[in-house]
Each structure stands twice: as structure tokens, then as C-alpha cells.
Structure 1
Amino acid sequence: MSPTMPRIDVPQDTSDDFDSSGCEARLVESARSGNEDAFAELVHRYQRRVQRVIGRFVSDDETVADLTQETFLRAFVRLSQFDPSRRFGPWLFQIGVNLTLDHLRQKKRRIWWSLFSQTGQEKSPDPEMADPRVKLDLQQEVQTVLEQIPEKYRTVLVLRDLENFSTSEIAAVLGRTEATIRWRLSEARQRFSILWAKRSSLAGTTLPGFADDGTAVSSEAGVE
């Protein structure tokens, strides 16, 4: 079985399962008709999770808040273009994810740490990574490894393994087939596992590894 990243518990909110009932559809239709209270309710339902997803890609809290606000602003402006046959949640996250990735490209804020060059020569690691005195925080370590994974794989991995989106939901958000999403997820997990083990070695300490069933094991068990 393909490995998954270590589990990081996240706070739950009412948007974790996209609303498949008619209640949200009525809210969306009302918002499309100009009812600002209806749109405010949609913001209330999704704001925390949108902010959390964006925070998986951007570390600066102020930037996360700005991108979250811009996501809902764009959604409000584009409501007239929304296809009522679609679910609102995936459509909203598509806006947020695309906006965030555009921001990262424009500002060149992604950190592409490559442990090996294309010729196979090992590059000098970040001194902080190699210092065993540095206190390692699991969430920080996961984020650091994620930043080394190419965008198209990282996005799928974040949405599936950190935010618990289903394959069909990710396909809707990214506009790809479910088969493509499954393939990218498998590739992403494999890349993460390799980089995670390598980072553990460079850090001079042991980070949680992976059991045979793909779950994280304790730091005492080492990296498989």
C-alpha cells in the first residue's frame, strides 16, 4: 500500500462534508438573486476550512487571511456564472486553490529544496535541517517536505491526506478526472515518503516513519 503522510489532527467544522442537501442549494440560489444574508451564511459555513486549506500552502497568517477574503470576494462576483447543477463547496475551493497557487507563482514564495540534482549529486542541506539541536515540530516538518513536492502532486496530497477531501471532490476542485487524481495521489505519497525519510537522515534525528499499512509510526520506531 502507498504510504501516507503522518496524521495531523485538524479542527472540524460544518463544511468538512460538502452539503448534499437542498438547504445549501437554496442558500446559493438566494445569494445569486442578491440576498447578501444568504451569502454571509455560506461564508460562515466555509470560511474556517477555506482558510485552513490556504494555510497549507502559505505560512504567513496575514497573507492567508487576505487570500481567504479574496476567495469569497471572487466567489460573490462570480455567483452569476455558477452552475446550479454543481455543488457549491468544490466550486468555492477551486477558486481558493487556484488563487493561492497563482499567488505562489507570482510572488515566487515557494521553496523548492531539492535534495539531489538531476545528475544525482547531493546538494548541501539547509544548515538548520542538519542541526540535531533544532527542536523538530511535526507539523513544521510536514510543511517543509510538502514544499519540496511539485505543485500538481502537493495540491492533491494536501487536499486528500490533510483535508480529507474525497477523490471525486478533488477532481471537481482541480478539474481533472478521478483516475488522474488517484495517479497523482499515489505519486505524491511516494515522493513524500522518500523525502520524509531523507529529511530524517539529514536532520540527524528520527522523524515518524511509515508502517506497512501506510500509517505513521512513532519516532522510536524509526523510518521504515
Structure 2
Amino acid sequence: MDLNETIEGCKKMDRKSQEELYRHFYPAFFSLCKRFFADEHDILTALNNGMMRVFKHIHQFDAAKGDFFNWSYTTIRNAAIALINERKTIVTLEIKESHTEAFSYNPFHDHEWSDIYWYLGRLPSNTRYVCTLYYLEGFSIKEIASAIDMKEGTVKWHLSECRSRLKAIFENQKLNSGE
């Protein structure tokens, strides 16, 4: 597949080019959306919404400004965040400032992607969204609060909750494996 030819075909709304581009990036973008959602229907909804945005705005892509994969990755991620905002439940929990040291530790540092997806699947949806944006996408607390329309204190609470829940899972696994 010649990516530049496929992109040009997509700009002309050529369905074959769109299908080729979709199939080419499907594995990477499915994995991206899987970070945010446990349910396969939600994963595919975010992916398909994102690809529709890619096709709709592909004329805005400028190869001189960056790589197509990075441009489309950002578009897909933003579609996942938009789906989160559509479906989110309002939670107004706050965390005390004394718990902020929990945010310097990344619980996923020593794990494979297949493990990370399994762990993310054990978290409540709002905690999963915050955890994914913070630990896997590198968003700051302020950026997360803005992206998913949540108070910074609530974002901090979800990060603390994520860390607590994952710590319990890790400890349980160690006990079960006899380490």
C-alpha cells in the first residue's frame, strides 16, 4: 500500500481508498480505543467515529507538519474522549492534597499491553478514562479535567482510586502466584 496514494484517494472520497486506509490502521487504532473502553461495542464506536472524522477532515492533513499516523491517532483519541463525554456519569468526589504523591508512580510501568488491557478492564469506567489519559496518553491533570469536563480534584481522586485498586490486584496476584 502506498500511503500517499491512499490518502489522495481518500481526499477524493474514493471508498476503496477509505477501506484500505481503515484496514491498514485498524489494529493500532483498535488498541488505542481499547485503552479507554472495555466493551467491544464502545471500542468500535469510538474507532468508527474517529475514522469518520479522519475521512471528513483528511483534506486538513499537511504532511509538512507531521506524520499521518500521528495526525489520525490524535483524531481517533479525540473521538474516544468525545464518546467518554457523551456517556460519562457525573461524579463529584474530591481528594485531599495530601494524597497527591500517588501521581508520580505509574502502575503500568512493568507490564505488557495485554496485561494493561486486562487491568484497565477491572476499573470503573470513569476511573479507567482518567487512568488512560494520565498514565498512557501523558495528559496532565489539568488537561484531563478540561478534556472530559471534570474538576481537577475529581481527576485526582480517580487517579488515587486507580492506584489503590491496581495495587490490590497486584498484591492479590502475588499472593496467588506464591511470590
- The residue aligned with 2:63 is 84
8 A Cα contact 2:34 2:117, kept in partner: no
Alignment of 1:127-166 (within 5 A): 139-143=117-121, 144=123, 148=127, 151=130, 154-155=132-133, 157-159=135-137
C-alpha contact (below 8 Å) 1:113/1:148 kept by paired residues = no
SS of the residue aligned with 2:127? coil
Q: Please identify which structure carries the higher helix content.
A: 2
Structure number, greater radius of gyration:
1
The structural deviation recorded for 1:94 is 0.9
Residue 138 of structure 1: how far off its partner (Å):
7.3
Partner residue of 1:118? 96
Matches of 1:80 and 1:43, distance apart in 2: 16
Unaligned runs of 5+ in 1: 1-21, 122-136, 161-169, 175-190, 209-217
In structure 2, relative to structure 1, the CA distance for the partners of 1:58 and 1:23 (3 Å cut) is same
Aligned residues between the structures: 144
Q: Secondary structure at the match of 2:172?
A: coil
TM-score by length of 1: 0.49
Q: How far is the alpha carbon of 1:150 from its aligned partner?
A: 7.3
For 1:79 and 1:61, how far apart are their aligned partners in 2?
26
Alignment correspondent of 1:70? 49
TM-score (norm 2): 0.59
The 1:41/1:220 distance shift into structure 2, 3 A limit, reads same
- The amino acid across from 1:79 in the alignment is I
Q: Which of 3, 15, 23 is residue 44 of structure 1 equivalent to?
A: 23
Q: Distance in 2 between matches of 1:74 and 1:23?
A: 21
- Which protein has greater RCO, CA pairs closer than 8 Å, 6+ apart? 1
> 5+ residue gaps in structure 2?
100-114, 144-158
Runs of 4+ aligned residues of structure 1 deviating over 4 Å after TM superposition are 200-205
